[in-house]
Amino acid sequence: MAKKKFNNPKEEHITATGVVIDCLPGSKFKVKMDNAENEVICTLSGKLRINKIQITVGDSVEIEISPYDIHAGIITWRNK
């Protein structure tokens, strides 16, 4: 029997802004979201890693959060 392929659309990420409150080992950061009391553990996106963008405590960042795990995210942009 042939396997059926399901073409489900990719789930949309939740975008938010926040402030970096802690730098963790392994290029992970703890980010406090602006609109909620949640703290999210984030990693750097590929573009930020390739271009060696430095992120420190107190930086304002934009993050993408998966709808499946709201406690993990990806930093996509560092605001000035």
* pLDDT one-digit tens code per residue, 25-80: 999 999 999 988 889 999 999 999 999 999 999 999 999 998 888 899 999 999 98
Say if 64 falls within a structural domain: yes
Q: What is the pTM of this model?
A: 0.82
Host domain of residue 68: 14-78
Residue 6 lies in a domain: no
Q: How far, in Å, CA of 45 to CA of 39, rounded?
A: 18
Any domain includes 36: yes
CATH number at residue 69: 2.40.50.140
Total domains in the chain come to 1
The residues near 46 (Cβ < 8 Å, ≥ 6 apart) are none
54: in domain: yes
d(CA 54, CA 73): 18
Q: Which tens digits make up the pLDDT trace of 4-40? A: 666 656 678 889 999 999 999 999 999 999 988 889 9
Which pLDDT score, from 0 to 100, does residue 57 have? 96
With 0-12 / 13-18 / 19 or more C-beta atoms within 10 angstroms meaning exposed / middle / buried, residue 35 is exposed
